[in-house]
Amino acid sequence: MSIKTNSGPRTYKVGTLVYTQTALLTVMFWMLLGDLCLQIMEQLPTSIVPLQLRWASASDTLIGFVSGSLPAVLGILLNPVVGVQSDRYRGPLGRRRPFLLWSTPLVMVALIGLGLAKPASQMLAGAFGAGSTDAVEIGWIAGCMVVFVVANTYIMQVYQFLFVDVIPAEVMGKFVGFYRAIGALGAFVFHRFMFGSAETHTALIYIISAVLYGSSFLLLIWKVKEGGYGEPEPKKGFATSARVYFTECFRDPFYLKVYSLAFCFWSAIVPLWTFLVFFGTKPGQDLGYAPTLGLNLTEFGEVRGWCSLVQVPIFFLVGPLVDRFHPLRVGLVGMLLTSITFFANFFLVHDRSSFTFWLIINFVAQAVYLGAYLAILPRLLPRAKYGQFFTANQIFGFAGVALAPVLSGWLLETLKDYRFIYVWCGACTLAGFIMCALLYRNWLRLGGDKSYQPPGFENAEAVPATTGH
């Protein structure tokens, strides 16, 4: 809500926080600086870990499991805990920032461990007399991924809860546009300037990314202040809490439609991140697979970097459209365009030029959807229990991430053609478009732009406003 009085400048309200325009811009700056370094860090497990596993002679199915399914399974188990803990917690730093503070050092340790996987596995193999370091290295990477995922689940979930608590609803679309644009810029920096050295400077890339991430998040925790919160509901026993969680989050079909968007989209995108590098480069195995494009890592990183950079202006453009037309409408268009362009990649990519062109077009379509998606959730989920419902949504997303890499890896091993990753992604996003259309129709029946209230929370009381800064 924005407030403008005759006696003073315009202010912006969210919960008990009231900002001047300058104060709001300052909060957004620190949040977005954290996002820039976070997105550079987030590229490591999705872009370099599959390569590290391939260099250790892992199969496609194993690569899909360690880099996609294992994190997803852990996320499914952890997300409900994170959401409920964060919603209920009250402390001097608020209810969100303490979890960021506790988790950041663990993420840094796990990243450095992944960077040192090769020398660490050689040392362990020598100490225990192992004949080959490959199995030891795969085990080391998997162990570091477990630590990373546990800590990073808190980081990723609580960070997104935080910006709902500190960013006013009327500028949420613009903020999400900036958030996505900054994230794309981080991905560009990583792929353009770091990815090409992934094999020769693995440890250095991980260490630099860990330090950037840790520094920016400690600054965010220091500079961004939370408002006041009402008292949480009385604690219940585990069985009662679980029953309430599943009843509130999964009983109404409307919320299931919301969650299905995460399931379909991430079922497409995580396998793309995992296996596209093997289609674009030399996959490192010659077991009867169809020819690939044969780019080296530097060339592939340049293509991926330009794809991310092109998304930046799209995110800036989508933000105001989201605020004006509602994120659900923009997301519907974005999901359809994403599906169409995935199939176009399958049929029309034959060399580096066509690979670059059609992948950029696909990333533009993804940007339309992603620019709307995070703004959909604050509009549709109940704010009083946003963390709880957000993590329920993430359970569906992680379910897709858990199943999709292994199933798509099995598909690629069966067909022996990495090009078919585009068919997998196109089919998943087509299903997502259908579910988005059904959700949109349901939202209109519940009041749409004029009178929508989250089902089951129609009479939820708002928290009284106080002045904040």
Q: What is the pLDDT of residues 157-177, one digit of tens each?
A: 888 888 888 988 788 778 877
Q: What is the pLDDT of residue 286?
A: 60
Q: In this predicted model, what pLDDT tens digit does every residue of 335-365 receive, in sequence order?
A: 999 999 999 999 999 999 999 999 999 999 9
Neighbours of 390 (CB within 10 A): 24
- What share of the chain has pLDDT > 90, as a percent? 38
Token digits for 430? 């087509």
- Give the H or E element holding residue 11: strand 11-14
Residue 458 lies in a domain: no
Residue 189 lies in a domain: yes
Residue 128 lies in a domain: yes
Return the exposure string of 109-145: e unless at least 16 CB atoms fall within 10 Å of the residue's CB, then b. Answer: ebbbbbbbbbebbeeebeeeeeeebbebbbebbbebb
**Residues 264, 400: contact at Cβ < 8 Å?**
yes
Residue 460 lies in a domain: no
The pTM of the full predicted model, rounded to 2 decimals, is 0.71
Counted domains in the chain: 1
Q: What is the pLDDT of residue 284?
A: 60
Residue 272 lies in a domain: yes
Q: What is the pLDDT of residue 130?
A: 64
Residue 444 lies in a domain: yes
What's the domain range around 110? 2-225+238-451
Residues of the chain with pLDDT under 50: 1-2, 5, 461-469
Q: What is the pLDDT of residue 157?
A: 82
Q: What is the pLDDT of residue 367?
A: 92
Instruction: Name 73's bridge partners.
Output: none
- Residue 25 sits in a domain whose CATH number is 1.20.1250.20
Neighbours of 186 (CB within 10 A): 22
